[in-house]
Amino acid sequence: MLFMFPVAARSQDILKGSEIHGNFQADASYYLTDPKTGINDSTLAGKLIRMNGFTEVGYTLGNFTAGLRFEAYLPPLVGYDEKYNGVGAPYWYVNYKNDFIDITAGNFYEQFGYGMMFRTYQEWTLGFDNSLRGLRIKVMPYKGITLKGVYGVQRYYWEPYKDYNRGIVKGFDADFYLNDMFNALNDGKVKLTLGGTFVSDYQEGETKDIPSGGKILELTMPQNVANYGGRFNLNIGDFNWFSEYAHKINDPSALNNYIYKEGDGLFTNFSYSRTGLGFSLMSKWIDNMSYKSDRSVTNNMLSINYLPAITKEHSYALASMYPYSTQPNGEVGISGTVTLHFKKNSPLGGKTGLSIAWNFSQVNSIKRTPLNDTTYIGQTGTDGYASTFYGVGDEVYYQDANIEVSKKFGKKWKGIFTYLYQTYNKDVIESHAPGEYGTIYSQIGIADITWNITKKHSLRWEVQGLWTKQDKGNWVAGLVEFTISPAWFFSVMDQYNYGNDIASQRLNYYLVSAGYTNHATRIALSYGRQREGIICVGGVCRYVPATNGMTLTVTTSF
Amino acid sequence: MKIFQILILSFFITSFTFAQENVFTFNKLPSVKMKTMKGLPFSSDSIVNNGKPIIISFWATWCKPCIRELTAISDVYDEWVEDTGVKLYAVAVDDSRSMTLVAPLVNGKGWEYTVLLDPNSDFKRAMKVGPIPHTFLLDGKGKVVYQHTSFAEGDELSLIDMVRRLNRGEEIK
């Protein structure tokens, strides 16, 4: 370390332009036993106090940046994988960039196109991190052209990479923005971007003994698995059309039951929008597209590609009780959204304006047929099944029809009113045996009202109801939140499962919280019960068991 | 690996040794590539406003408080622009899942901001933003003079108040 000082001393003037920035978050919980939700001393295993925390600091000097993130899970909060237990710096990098080149050594997050072939990212609230550690080079050789190359190994909790204990990921991506490349197109109304990706994962070849149909099959695993494809974005005035196609070669894995079928994926989005009106229609087809740098891993970790759900992500408590998560082995879906805004002082907008958002999505199985009379669909060690491109299967995985109306009432009151009808195939989405839970049909209504009492004080209420004949039956939820700008918030929330068939399970999940914000620092304390459920951010979901206790969250950035 | 960590650490120590007052201030925005709602490339270097203050708001289509904040500002944005010349850049951190819903939502709400897409959170990471909403205020020279996380009704009033103070040449602390 000492050898840096003389260099630094000589370059004191250069260092004048340097900056240090970072952020910090700690979530600490004190857990209580709660016989009603089944939390007893043995489930807590004596670890009543738990904490997840991180600090990330970056140093910038001109074109040069270096940074690292320190993480501590002592032990991890309930619901996070115990493999996180520990402290360390799993993320660090040095980067140099100018107008022509951008080089990173260390860990990095990168996405090629839509992400169907390659995406590394981090989602702290989910305990998800698949950063690549290695090298990344981006080159901008000519205006409108970006070339990217990545080479490295992915993060897997705290486990260091050695002796090919997981795959080595290599990827190349090219992006061509035609309007910048050709002067003649510069001011054209038609804007076109083309892109292409090639990704390869090398995992040491092996023969695996996989039990199947009462026998042990000796299967030879492919060493290199390639995933490649292309994309375009066409923009004409208010119209936009984006599409990405990916093809993956044979990749037997624990997730696809070790079949040798090749994979395909196609995502398309068509949208039209201008002031006051928005329209979007997307469709997605994926067939055997899970892609991991370790074929035996079945949880969220070590994903190389990103296969987000195309269903709308809801944030109200009861609307997100039954969230959809992508079925990487195969699904076909559509999602349509229309948003309208009626300006203030228009016939429909009234004095204050009116916004309406309508959304519909449905996801089905893909159509699969057996390869021959002696092979069943998905049989280990075979090509699995036959499928036709965009062949829609009969089984409905998920459906969501919802409408949201936002309206101001005078200067001090405003409301958001939402109605949803959801169909949730619990067996498929939560990987249960067929017929174990069946499909849940629910209707949800939500009113969210804000009253600006003064310029600094406001009260907000949420009243929510969920009605279903299946699963745990009906729920109601209420929330009252009081805020004092810019610093304070206080809230009380309760979710009550009044319609549960089992009388002893008609529980109240109450949560009391308060928080203080000062600039970029926020401290929040909450106490209460958390219901068992699935929380999703983007394309990744995580199961959270029921808990009861006190949680302190501190976040800051500088 | 250890050598890298030591190297990075020593950079921090040397820079702290010569730390000036504004070492923790974004004197200039980090240069990061994003996209416009039309899918066209956009660099954070192009976040400019002819020497007038700039607001950068990190948000997402699934973030209710973010939408409350941007809706509250939208109601008075015309007057803000006319009064102060301020410009708001709304950076959507929606990933591939909801990125394509940004333009319909923005138009459907009638927002008149410059909206940018940051689908893999590159700009969010460079600005060290944690939970959203997170808002930055930049002075006419492009220096970050204030940042705030979360939203409470009324926060928009203190924001425009600070913009006015900047225009009067006052310092924000």
A contact residues 253-272, partner B, Cβ 8 Å cutoff: 267, 269, 271
DSSP β-ladder status, A215-220 and A540-544: unpaired
pLDDT at A541: 65
Considering chain A, what is the average pLDDT of its residues? 92
CA dihedral A8, A12, A14, A18 (to 10 degrees): 80
**Residue B157 CB burial class (10 angstroms; 0-12, 13-18, ≥19):** middle
pLDDT at A1: 43
CB A281, CB A269: distance < 8 Å: yes
Q: Distance from A51 to chain B by nearest Cα, in Å?
A: 17
Query: Is the model's pLDDT at A16 over the cut of 80?
Result: no
Span A54-69, average pLDDT: 95
The pLDDT-based confidence of A36 (bands split at 50, 70, 90) is confident
Residue A558: CB atoms within 10 A of its CB come to 16
Least Cα distance to B153 among A447, A409, A457, A412 occurs for: A457
Angle (nearest 5°) at CA B162 between B158 and B165: 140
Reading phi first (left if > 0) and then psi (alpha if -120 to 50, else beta), residue B8 is in: alpha
A contact residues 130-169, partner B, Cβ 8 Å cutoff: 146
Q: Do A109 and B125 touch (CB under 8 A)?
A: yes
pLDDT at A9: 47
Question: What tokens were used for A20?
Answer: 């240090």
Nearest to B130 among A25, A316, A487 (CB): A25
pLDDT at A377: 93
Residue B71: CB atoms within 10 A of its CB come to 19
Residue A289: CB atoms within 10 A of its CB come to 25
Peptide bond between residue A486 and the one before it cis (omega within 30 degrees of 0): yes
Summarize pLDDT for A426-468 with one digit per residue, the tens. 999 999 999 999 999 999 999 999 999 999 999 999 999 999 9
Chain B residues lying within 8 Å of A312, measured CB to CB: 98, 101
Interface predicted TM-score of the whole assembly (ipTM), two decimals: 0.93
Summarize pLDDT for A80-135 with one digit per residue, the tens. 999 999 999 999 999 999 999 999 999 999 999 999 999 999 999 889 999 999 99
DSSP β-ladder status, A540-544 and A508-518: unpaired
User: What percentage of residues in chain B have a pLDDT greater than 90?
Assistant: 76
Chain A residues lying within 8 Å of B112, measured CB to CB: 275
Q: Do A191 and B105 touch (CB under 8 A)?
A: no
Span A468-480, average pLDDT: 96
Q: Report the residue of A107, A126, A270, A315 to disrupt the B interface, i.e. the one with the largest count of B CBs within 10 Å.
A: A315
pLDDT at A8: 47
Token pair 């079928």 in the structure block, residue: A261
CB A506, CB A500: distance < 8 Å: yes
pLDDT at A5: 47
Query: Is the model's pLDDT at A538 over the cut of 70?
Result: no
Query: Is the model's pLDDT at A544 over the cut of 80?
Result: no
How far does Cα A114 stand from its chain's mean position? 13
Q: Do A240 and B103 touch (CB under 8 A)?
A: yes
Residue of chain B whose alpha carbon sits nearest to that of A12: B18
**pTM for this prediction:** 0.93
pLDDT at A40: 81
The pLDDT-based confidence of A244 (bands split at 50, 70, 90) is very high
Q: Do A111 and B128 touch (CB under 8 A)?
A: no
The pLDDT-based confidence of B5 (bands split at 50, 70, 90) is low
Question: Helix (H, G, I), strand (E, B), or coil: what is residue B81?
Answer: helix
Token pair 């492919």 in the structure block, residue: A222
Chain B residues lying within 8 Å of A23, measured CB to CB: 128-130
pLDDT at A536: 64
pLDDT at A2: 45
Q: Do B63 and A315 touch (CB under 8 A)?
A: yes
Span A14-36, average pLDDT: 88
Summarize pLDDT for A368-400 with one digit per residue, the tens. 999 999 999 999 999 999 999 999 999 999 999
Least Cα distance to B35 among B102, B105, B97, B87 occurs for: B102
Question: Which segments within A45-100 are labelled E, that is strand?
Answer: 49-61, 64-73, 86-97
Chain B residues lying within 8 Å of A67, measured CB to CB: 8
Task: Count CA atoms closer than 13 A to A447's CA, side-chain side.
Answer: 5
The pLDDT-based confidence of A14 (bands split at 50, 70, 90) is low
Q: Is the dihedral of CA A246, A249, A252, A253 positive or negative?
A: negative
Chain B residues lying within 8 Å of A271, measured CB to CB: 100, 103-104
CB B16, CB B8: distance < 8 Å: no
Summarize pLDDT for B52-86 with one digit per residue, the tens. 999 999 999 999 999 999 999 998 999 999 999 99
The pLDDT-based confidence of A345 (bands split at 50, 70, 90) is confident
pLDDT at A23: 94
